[in-house]
Amino acid sequence: MPGFVASAVVALAMLVGGCSLLAVDLPFLGDRDAEPSGARGLDLEETHEDRLRCGAEGRGDCSDWFAIDIERRGVLRVGIETEAAPESGVKPPLRAALLRGETRLRSRGPGGKLRLQRQLEPGPYLVRVWSEEAGPAIEYRIEARLLSFRLRRFALLEIDESGGTVALEIAGGSQHGLRVGMGGNVVEGTRRLGRFRITDVYPEGARAEVQGRLGGPLTPSTEAEVELPPSG
């Protein structure tokens, strides 16, 4: 009976609107969030429960897409955890990826408990969760959080403006948690003069390159305010 009703609805739509079967947008004709264009919105700080059931040769519900809008700079942390199988107690494995458009930023898996984490600028992002194994339905939970940076200031040991770009020698290194690729602000008291990116790190020092133009002169009291990732 359900199949008869579905066929009748499609036939009616074709008669009234002159549309083809492929153009009819009905839930039973496909899994909308199986493609990026149908990604489900994922709110920050809220847990969403979902399921996948992948069949042979990739048929069935093998992939879910989620859309996340980031409104401020920070570290996005996405956690995915599957429900353990009742008979074995083992968490079935999934894979996950974080993307900006078609560019993959992070990927994890396979595993029953995954974490995607990346420092991000404001903008729209996508998360894909998928299974590559045919089998029973996999129940899982997904949650996204946007974490703030820990800001720490360091003195500037040297300022080099001879190479066409402004290079900074920072009095903080790997033993202080600094890593290549971290960003931060050039600051004078409460005033922000510009942005920098760390290019080299040593145990007790680091080198950074200023990005763009500075909003004022550098003085002996100018400092480097480094954005350290959240702990935990």
Got the DSSP string for 23-49? G---GGG--GGGSGGGPEE--TT-EEE
* Residue pLDDT, tens place only, 80-135: 999 998 888 899 999 999 999 999 999 999 999 999 998 898 999 999 999 998 88
Give the pTM: 0.66
Please compute the mean of the pLDDT values over residues 26-49 and round it to a whole number.
82
Please say if the pLDDT value at position 12 is more than 50. no
CATH class assigned to 150-228 = mainly beta
Show the beta-strand stretches assigned E in 112-149: 113-120, 123-130, 138-147
**How is domain 32-147 classified at the CATH fold level?**
Jelly Rolls (2.60.120)
Please say if the pLDDT value at position 52 is more than 60. yes
Reported confidence tier of residue 230, pLDDT bands at 50, 70, 90: confident
CB 207 within 8 A of CB 224: no
* Residue pLDDT, tens place only, 161-196: 887 789 999 999 999 999 999 999 999 999 999 999
pLDDT at 161: 84
Q: What are phi and psi of 19, to 5 degrees?
A: -100, 160
User: What is the share, in percent, of the chain residues with pLDDT greater than 90?
Assistant: 66
Longest dimension (CA), the chain: 81
Domain spans of the chain?
A: 1-30, 32-147, 150-228
pLDDT at 229: 81
Q: Where are the alpha helices (DSSP H) in the chain?
A: 2-17
Please compute the mean of the pLDDT values over residues 189-205 and round it to a whole number.
95
- What distance in Å separates the CA atoms of residue 190 and residue 71, rounded to the nearest whole number? 23
- What distance in Å separates the CA atoms of residue 106 and residue 30, rounded to the nearest whole number? 28
Average pLDDT of every residue of the chain: 86
